[in-house]
A and B are shown apart, each in its own frame.
Chain A
């Protein structure tokens, strides 16, 4: 059986226009050849820093953005070339939860209208059923059903995120793409929303693509994790292997930069990267990470490393493992 979602060589370039005639003067290589799959009931975490293209991946695979190249398969069917009308049945299966609970809800619609709107668009319920379903959804995400007539500004950030989740659930989707769904929330509220997402997954057998920058949250909620850097996936495997045996130097640095809330944290040894993430407008040649990589070799500067299965079910894109797997990571002698 084909996986629920399969993405092959996905690319999304944004054009940069200049001058009075808006001539194309360059490209932002936001997503530059990304492949992954998500099975039913599974959560894939997509983690990376700002500007790495993780949100663009989420939007492109729902076709909210038109992909530049590559293929998106849902239940084995290619949806890449479909137009808006043809996409409609697939939209029912794939929904999105956004980061900012303030910007993603229409301030002029009541909470009940927001949650019920997908049911109108997809013509799945008569008005009476719709009200019932909205009430049920409110209850399921932990909002009091009396609040259907309240407007977004009357809710707190955590409650707004619950409205966004109820809206995403309205059509019984199979896949939910969460684009930083808890990043804007306070810690205590963040825990409530994470728990809710996990309960809902259990109940409705949902699959998630969980896009976030917080590695601890991603490790908590995901089965498998893909690490992105400047438009490319540099490593992907199950969450335990990623933590125990990071095979890409960027993953290693990311893991060691996450502050740990423990008494012993002060004496921890740490890898501190130098420099900033390069611009996706003008990415460096070869491995995108080579300028910041502590193990960079000559070939990293001009040869792009391919994401390959260096160990069973563990993919990494790094020249360190060209002849055999090197762990702990170290520069080969003589390089």
Chain B
């Protein structure tokens, strides 16, 4: 067990300053990824832009079907074609537009400069190969090491992610490990080539909370050591609050809000963000409220079908602030406060109300 005080104030300040100076490492600009299905065109990602800098953690939040995972898969060019295709926009990594690369060129980047951790470690690991073999595969491919050297490196990687007895565990098959251990193996694979960007898609959703705390702690530790930029995709606002420096909120294929984590949780500017925050039970409040009086602030209705989006703002049918204006045109993304962008016709009013 360790008692840890997350990030000291001085280190945090240094990180903030560094992040502000550095130019983005990965920049997604007006990305559009559509799926061409029998039921029509599904606009899974419809003009999303965000960037991430060295050593920074960007949180991407939203509910199922908001396009947060498809955006990430687009970055690694892993969207199945057909039916999916990147139809517009750019993904710039250190100046190169990944959208224009050939599959061959992309292979040199995938798993090497940019790697990914998936939600369900059991389905993303090969059940027929030992974990050592799977880790050394990426190392051998990208680093040109011999199988023996790559194998030694795999043991080293397991040690780095704090798997006990790595020399023995390197010969284990995925089913012999617990869920938390498997996720550690996934992380070991993902960081084996010292990636510059790590995309973590719901990395702890399948895990228990005490194991979740261990895994998030490990990711922070590795980031501190390697300076990796992390894109943390999750539906859990709590995980975002405790781990992200900056947050992007997505709804129905678009970015509806972006701000620093501190700003977003203090002054949510989009009715959807505000609604999401209100709909999660807060442990502290819940413990002190009588059951009869405890009521969550629900968002009425459901997420619209991406093949058949409403006119104007896609959130308007569920929004308590919606007016005629909202139903007529989709609101532009406007910077209302320093580094705080909101796509809502009524953002001013919401921000004033919160302040």
Tell me the A residues contacting B by CB distance below 8 Å: 43, 49-50, 156, 158, 186-192, 194-195, 198, 202, 213, 215-217, 219-223, 239-240, 242-244, 253-263, 265-274, 276-277, 292, 294
Contacts of A202 in B (CB 8 A): 292
B353 to A: closest C-beta gap in Å = 17
Tell me the B residues contacting A by CB distance below 8 Å: 1-7, 9, 12, 63-64, 178-181, 208-214, 217, 235-243, 261-266, 275-284, 286-289, 291-292, 294-300, 302-303
A26 to B: closest C-beta gap in Å = 18
Of listed A215, A262, A268, residue having the most chain B CB within 10 A: A262
B3 to A: closest C-beta gap in Å = 6
B280 to A: closest C-beta gap in Å = 6
Contacts of B211 in A (CB 8 A): 49, 276
Please name the residue on chain B nearest to A192 by beta carbon.
B298
Of listed B9, B283, B298, residue having the most chain A CB within 10 A: B283
Contacts of B265 in A (CB 8 A): 261-263, 265
Contacts of A276 in B (CB 8 A): 178, 180-181, 211
A223 to B: closest C-beta gap in Å = 6
B294 contacts A188, C-beta separation under 8 Å: no
Q: List, sorted by A's number, 25 A–B pairs whose CB atoms are closer than 8 Å.
A: A50-B179, A187-B280, A191-B278, A192-B300, A194-B296, A216-B282, A216-B283, A220-B286, A220-B294, A221-B291, A239-B286, A240-B288, A257-B210, A258-B209, A258-B283, A260-B242, A261-B265, A263-B265, A265-B265, A266-B261, A267-B7, A267-B9, A269-B3, A271-B3, A274-B214
A294 contacts B210, C-beta separation under 8 Å: no
Interface of chain B: mostly helix, strand, loop or mixed? helix
Contacts of B212 in A (CB 8 A): 257, 259
Partner of B208, one of A49, A244, A268, A272: A49
Partner of B266, one of A189, A194, A219, A263: A263
A194 to B: closest C-beta gap in Å = 6
A156 CA to B284 CA, complexed, in Å: 31
Please name the residue on chain A nearest to B293 by beta carbon.
A198
Partner of B239, one of A187, A259, A277: A259
Please name the residue on chain A nearest to B64 by beta carbon.
A186
Contacts of B300 in A (CB 8 A): 192
A195 contacts B296, C-beta separation under 8 Å: yes
A194 CA to B279 CA, complexed, in Å: 10
A190 to B: closest C-beta gap in Å = 7
A165 to B: closest C-beta gap in Å = 15
A158 contacts B296, C-beta separation under 8 Å: no
Contacts of B266 in A (CB 8 A): 263
B261 contacts A244, C-beta separation under 8 Å: no
Contacts A222-B291, A244-B287, A257-B210; A188 near B298 (Cβ below 8 A): yes
A178 CA to B238 CA, complexed, in Å: 24
